[in-house]
């Protein structure tokens, strides 16, 4: 597939608009998320996964089909996520990167901890594997790796922390080197773009406010191929 950054940016903008218009507003979202937990309606225990698999994944799959040449089958093949078996009608595999990396996604780890990892004996699992929440591969024209967050705290400090960690993780995943595919079930790793996809369920929109204080937003896209998508949702429950 050809690399077209302008077309990729247009896809992100369209997806952001779809999510904002299709997802419940923050008040309704918090109620629906609470109902999912209280009624045992989800197989997922982690909030991000409840948010992703009950609300977001079908919308991404549908939005992908607005791109020429992408139908339901092509979108399903291209869309990867950890629990793909639970949504096998719209996703075809796991987004995990098989190869290890000497560099992890965590911010601010002490030097001695990093050195300790580097000097341990060989292990059965690679050092610093990557498990992104979502990825999109060929035949979709834009290869994208996502970090997803569901944020419902009203703390500005927590919002800043979540924003920085999310953008950093999306950039880390996007920057990892190519790994060839072994099979359709064991896909490779070769992503052009990273995306933080975060839902701000806070009462006052503190995550959105934290992003709005960033003065050079374009630097993430121009210099890092990372799109920051903070959505609030506008759909009423009625």
Q: How far apart are CA 107 and CA 77, in angstroms?
A: 33
Query: Average pLDDT of 159-163?
Result: 97
Q: Are 148 and 56 in contact (CB under 8 A)?
A: yes
Q: Are 103 and 130 in contact (CB under 8 A)?
A: no
Q: Which residues, in sequence order, are CB contacts of 188 under 8 Å at separation 6+?
A: 137, 178, 179, 180, 181, 182
Query: In the predicted model, is pLDDT for residue 117 greater than 70?
Result: yes
Q: Are 129 and 96 in contact (CB under 8 A)?
A: yes
* pLDDT tens digits along 81-93: 988 989 999 999 9
Terminal CA-to-CA distance of the chain, rounded, Å? Answer: 42
Using pLDDT thresholds of 50, 70 and 90, give the confidence band for residue 45: low
Query: In the predicted model, is pLDDT for residue 2 greater than 80?
Result: no
pLDDT at position 126, please?
67
- Computed on alpha carbons and rounded to an integer, the radius of gyration of the chain in Å comes to 18
Q: How far apart are CA 207 and CA 225, in angstroms?
A: 21
Q: Are strands 79-81 and 134-136 parallel, antiparallel or unpaired?
A: antiparallel
Domain extents for the chain?
A: 5-107+126-231
Largest CA distance in the chain: 58
């Amino acid at each position: 597939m050809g690399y077209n950054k302008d077309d990729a940016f247009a896809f992100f903008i369209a997806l952001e608009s779809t999510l904002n218009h299709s997802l419940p507003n923050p008040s309704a979202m918090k109620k629906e998320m609470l109902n999912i937990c209280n009624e045992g309606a989800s197989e997922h225990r982690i909030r991000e996964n409840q948010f992703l698999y009950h609300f977001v994944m079908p919308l991404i799959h549908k939005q992908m089909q607005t791109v020429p040449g992408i139908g339901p089958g092509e979108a399903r093949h291209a869309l990867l996520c950890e629990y793909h078996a639970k949504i096998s009608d719209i996703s075809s595999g796991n987004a995990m990167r098989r190869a290890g990396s000497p560099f992890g996604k965590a911010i601010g780890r002490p030097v001695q901890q990093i050195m300790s990892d580097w000097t341990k004996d060989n292990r059965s699992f690679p050092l610093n594997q990557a498990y992104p929440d979502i990825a999109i591969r060929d035949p979709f024209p834009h290869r994208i790796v996502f970090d997803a967050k569901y944020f419902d705290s009203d703390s500005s400090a927590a919002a800043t922390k979540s924003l920085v960690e999310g953008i950093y993780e999306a950039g880390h995943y996007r920057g990892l080197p190519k790994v060839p595919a072994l099979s359709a079930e064991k896909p490779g790793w070769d992503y052009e773009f990273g995306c933080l996809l975060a839902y701000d369920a806070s009462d006052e929109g503190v995550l959105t406010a934290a992003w709005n204080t960033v003065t050079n937003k374009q630097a993430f896209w121009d210099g890092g191929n990372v799109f920051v998508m903070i959505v609030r949702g506008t759909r009423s429950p009625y």
